[in-house]
Amino acid sequence: MASDVLSRGIRLLRDPHRNKSTAFTQAEREQLGLLGLVPEGVDTEETQLRRVLLQLGQKTTDLERYIYLSALQDNDETLYYKTLMSDPEHFMPLVYTPTVGEACQKYGHILRRPRGLYLSINRRGRVRELLRNWPEQDIRFAVVTDGERILGLGDLGVNGMGIPVGKLALYTACAGVPPQVTLPITLDVGTNNETLLADPLYLGLRQPRVRGKEYDAFLEEFVTAVQEVFPRCCIQFEDFANFHAVPLLARYRDRVCCYNDDIQGTAAVAVAGISAALRILGTGWKDQTFLFLGAGSAGTGIAELICLAMTRDGLALEEARQRCWLVDVNGLIESSRTDLADFQKPFAHAHAPLRGFLAAVEAIRPTGIIGVSTVPKLFDQPVIEAMARINERPIIFPYSNPTSRSECTAEEAYKWSQGRAIFASGSPFPPVQYGGKTFVPGQGNNVYIFPALGLAIYATQARRVTDELFLCAATSVAEQVTQANLDMGLIYPPQSDILNTSIQVATRVAELIFERGLAGVPRPADVGDFIQSKLYRPEYHSAV
């Protein structure tokens, strides 16, 4: 009997969902076989948080802090989220970009405990069985990657698991989505990264990536199995290569509840930033022209949502598309080119061939440039100076992640534009002093979009995710930017208040889900109160 009680206490301490560590009360310790297994003192949650912050402060690098926080998540989930939600602006860069990029590169070297599901293509025909190995039965969100295009770092194979893990942590920390309904998944179809294949600590299949019909069949089995095992689950496709990302979204968006954050989430956060920038400019969507550096799924996804916003401002769709231009490694996307993918062709306008981004800026004369190239420093001084010559207030959005891949820094954009740039980047930059003024760079982080969208989908049990929902989310984010924010150059709401921002966005999106008949539950009398009732809060509950 005594050994049974002891094992019960040990099991409890090893369960991150129920573990309270040193915060178990004396009564809980007596009844649950915990006496002697924890120190005699009983901590408050605030004391536990102080200890975590002290220990984090003793780490010397962000990667060490990432590893510490990962271990905390494995040990005490409530304390982990209490830590993140105590200062989201500080902790988001540690659990996601930019630190997660380094963590993914070294994933097999820093692994403490596997997290999530690893679905190998060698297990074809058994995906349902593997999904049922997950202990939770009511999964509402599965963030899935095949690891081929991790941030701007390329093919990292199963090392890319850091991305689904990090994304789902932000679902909870930034929007209160309960962590138990989330599931990170990596599809292991091999890797073409020779460095990883030669690394004895690499954790995935040691073979080249599977392509073609075999890959498509595996994805079909996966999507079908998720619908069967977790019928209320929304699938978020993450960091797939362009030639897979666009077809996957097209294939499944009208069949199941799914979306691609790299395409649609990035588009929404860009539209939110532009919406706020237009308040500074005092102009409308139909007065803008945008030039993209990068013509992959992210660039075309942003362009498509911009066009939807422009149609709301009175332009016909074709007129709107004429105001979006893209440049890739081979130059301007224009109608004479024969090397274009289908998803690029709507933006292949009649124009003489052009090589080089600066030449495109001079010819197109855009009001804004958006970088999604993952190639650093291509928004160089001549480009920024040209934008500042063409526009009184040029829109400069280097969105590539992580920081090392950004097309320019905030300091460069402000300096080379004489402080006139309206700036936002994909990764964070510190405040910039220029001309006697302090500029606070905006971060066009998808965290303003996908957690709030997730909260709305979770609450309403939405059956589909449409582009209109993303435009609604973008509009709501922009509306929360104050004049004081704009005066200091900040075109997104402060990340320090991200939970309240997400709640307001989720409420707006949920209202639209109900209006469009996409919800799986009846509409409540007060949607705002309904959203509030669904929030996860990082608080311990009685264990007895």
Residues 79, 82: Cα–Cα separation, whole Å: 5
Residues 139, 182: Cα–Cα separation, whole Å: 6
Residue 438 and residue 431 in contact, taking contact as beta carbons nearer than 8 Å: yes
Which residues have a Cβ under 8 Å from the Cβ of 374 and sit 6 or more positions away?
151, 152, 294, 400, 401, 405
Q: Which of 96, 107, 202, 536 is catalytic?
A: 96
Q: Which of 81, 167, 399, 534 is catalytic?
A: 167
141: three-class secondary structure by DSSP: strand
3-state helix, strand, coil in the chain (%, to 5): 50, 10, 40
Residues 168, 114: Cα–Cα separation, whole Å: 15
Count of residues for the chain? Answer: 544
Residue 40 and residue 25 in contact, taking contact as beta carbons nearer than 8 Å: no
Residue 532's identity, in one-letter code, is: Q
Helix (H) or strand (E) holding 102: helix 99-105
Residue 167 among the catalytic residues: yes
Residues 469, 463: Cα–Cα separation, whole Å: 12
Within 13 Å, how many C-alpha atoms sit on residue 242's CB side?
17
Q: Nearest-CA neighbor of 187 among 169, 171, 163?
A: 163
DSSP 352: -
Residue 448 among the catalytic residues: no
Residues 168, 84: Cα–Cα separation, whole Å: 13
Beta bridge partners of 154: 150
Within 13 Å, how many C-alpha atoms sit on residue 386's CB side?
18
Residue 446 and residue 169 in contact, taking contact as beta carbons nearer than 8 Å: no
Beta bridge partners of 371: 293, 398
Neighbour tally for 214: CB within 10 Å: 11
Residues 400, 370: Cα–Cα separation, whole Å: 9
Q: Nearest-CA neighbor of 295 among 355, 340, 238, 353?
A: 340
Residues 165, 160: Cα–Cα separation, whole Å: 9
For the sheet containing 182-188, what is the strand order? 117-120, 182-188, 141-145, 234-237, 258-260
The structure tokens listed for 399 are: 């969105």
Catalytic residue numbers read: 96, 167
